[in-house]
Structure 1
Amino acid sequence: MLIIYGAVALAQDATTGTVRGNVVDTTTAQTPISGVRVVVVSTDGTENETTTDDVGEYTKSGLPPGRYLLSIYKDGYGDRTGKPVTIVTGGDHYVPLKMTKKDTIVTFFAKFGVVFWPLLLCSVAALTFIIERLFTFLRSRSKLGTEQFMASITDSLRSDNIMEAVSTCEEAGGPLANVLKAGLLRYSQAQIEEQEITKEEVQESIQEAGLLEIPELERNIPVISTVAVISPLFGLLGTVMGMINAFTTIALEGTGDPQALAGGISQALLTTAGGLTIAIPCLIFSQVFESWVNKFVLEIEQVSTEIVNQLILGQSA
């Protein structure tokens, strides 16, 4: 019976092939990985599966001749799929494979090295001040809308009711209303004291109020712009330090393991990617905030000039 089974096995080996190999991790030690699911898929979609043993070895026999794709899977490691292999009759094909451990949050950020901490501070500062500026600009919007607000002010001035216009400013809120309110109160005070008031005096009151409102809108925008500038520099610093370490490894050990060298370089480039990830949103938001400030300033200048002219012309009439 043993002779018969042996003959059958030899006959099968003569018409089929075998693929075998080992699976290790991508660290310098190249530690064998046990329990890896190895799937051998033929061109017609037929799957043949095996598992690595305690020393990371796998073997799959009885494969008909043809082209196959090897794929390996294991929890905690990145999948590797589509490794081609051609099986020939009676062939014994050795295919070594490597797997990389999936990064956790801790291991991923550990790759950044010492520049992780300044990049973390930059990201926290950027996020904090961007959110703070967004809330500030949202609060600065008039509750009535610019057109409705201006229509109410104009109606009050036409009826020579300055205090009603002041009440409208208090109701609307925002930088524009606060600036106009200062000019209206200055004009109203002159009326109560029965004093002559010039256009320049009203404009001076409006400008003084603007000196209080505009800096509040511009506050912390320079910080965001600064983060946009320095975060790529920290990222570049980390890349340079990583490249120095990589070339030091080459000088000491040569280029015998290109995969390890490529892994070191890719980790070094992570810091540049991190710096740019912080800098790009900071640059965008700083430009948006500055454009909003310029829009507020232009709106204040145009509306205040219109209101001042209306006050002085109404007084002259």
Structure 2
Amino acid sequence: MMTLFLKGGPIMYPLLLCSIVGLFICIQKLLYLNHQSQKNDAFIEQIKERLLQYGKSYTLKELRSHRKVLLKILAQTIKLSHLPKEDIKDGVKEVSYIELPKLDQHMSLLSSIITTAPILGLFGTVLGLVDIFNVISGGQIGDMTALSSGISQALLTTVTGIGIAIPLIFIQQHISQKIERLIMQTERSMYEMIHFCQQSNIQA
């Protein structure tokens, strides 16, 4: 493996960096989203029980200690639940604009890596081909071993770049679907909480 890496030339180093950063982002996002989506239904039922038993103030105090995006948005929903529905939605939007972008954090960087890795690989191939043509122009065209080795080296960076991008594309798609599901769950839970608070006549 190390021999192949060194054979690919200097472009292999930025490609290695792309693979490390891309993998780090994927692992970090998957762990973060798993935490954000874990036991949300159970949390919502607990919130409803707390509201019925202790009222708004106590429940909101408990929710402030949580770092989940869903619970922060539900806290704002509960806080404004005495208002008409449209006013609640407007108030929750303000919190959503702050909290929901956290779910997408680093995704643009991951997209850039997916785009950049194959281009870097192609750039490495072009540099390798330039070296090959320099060999040919130097009158060494008869040295087929050197030529085949040069072509192999030139193509190695393209293969590496594409090899980095393909798995990252699938993982990115999986992460995007998890984000979309979490946003939909958050919106659904918000309406559910509005209905619950207003139907149950939750007091402060």
Common fold by TM > 0.5:
yes
- 1:163-242 superposed matches below 5 A: 163=57, 165-166=59-60, 169=63, 174-187=68-81, 197-242=83-128
Provide the C-alpha distance between the structure 1 equivalents of 2:155 and 2:70, rounded to a whole number of angstroms: 47
Task: Answer whether contact 1:224 1:283 (CA < 8 A) is retained.
Answer: no
The reply to whether residue 136 of structure 1 matches residue 3 of structure 2 is no
Pairwise CA distance, 1:218: 0.7
Q: Is the 8 A contact 1:153 1:168 kept in 2?
A: no
- AA at the equivalent of 1:302: R
**Which moves more between the two structures, 257-266 or 229-238?**
257-266
1:127 maps onto 2:23 in alignment = yes
Q: What does 1:147-166 correspond to in 2, within 5 Å?
A: 147-157=41-51, 161-163=55-57, 165-166=59-60
2:9 is equivalent to residue 113 of structure 1: yes
Q: CA RMSD in A?
A: 2.7
**Deviation (angstroms), 1:179:** 0.7
1:199–1:309: 8 Å Cα contact kept in structure 2? Answer: no
Q: Does the CA contact (< 8 Å) of 1:199 and 1:312 recur in 2?
A: no
The residue type paired with residue 135 of structure 2 is T
Give the deviation of 1:139 after TM superposition: 3.3
Amino acid corresponding to residue 128 of structure 2 in structure 1: G
Instruction: From the two aligned structures, give the one with the greater helix fraction.
Output: 2
Matched, 1:247 2:133: yes
Larger fraction in strand? 1
Instruction: Classify the secondary structure of the residue corresponding to 1:113.
Output: coil
What code does the residue aligned with 1:129 have?
I
Deviation, structure 1 residue 234: 0.5
TM-score by length of 2: 0.83
CA distance in 1, matches of 2:33, 2:15: 27
CA contact (8 A) 1:130 1:285 kept: yes
2:169 matched to which residue of 1?
283
C-alpha offsets along residues 136-166 of structure 1, whole Å, 9 cap, x if unaligned?
Answer: 2233234xx1332232334445568334543
Structure 1 counterpart SS, 2:5: helix
Q: How far apart are the structure 1 equivalents of 2:66 and 2:18?
A: 36
Runs of at least 5 residues in structure 1 that lack an aligned partner in the other structure? 1-102, 191-196
How far apart are residue 239 of structure 1 and its match?
A: 0.9
The letter of the residue matching 2:147 is L
Report the alpha carbon displacement of residue 111 of structure 1 after superposing the two structures with TM.
Answer: 2.1
- 1:241 Cα shift? 1.6
**Structure 2 Cα separation of the partners of residues 135 and 212 of structure 1:** 21
Query: What is the SS of the residue equivalent to 1:114?
Result: coil
* Amino acid in the other structure paired with 2:89: Q
Q: Is the 8 A contact 2:37 2:182 kept in 1?
A: no
> Gaps (5+ residues) in structure 2?
none
| TM-score for the superposition, normalised by structure 1 | 0.56
Q: Say how many residue pairs are matched.
A: 202
Q: Report the Cα offset of residue 131 of structure 1.
A: 3.0
Identical residues among aligned pairs (%):
27
1:112 counterpart letter in structure 2: G
What's the CA shift for 1:251? 3.5
SS in structure 2 at match of 1:253:
coil
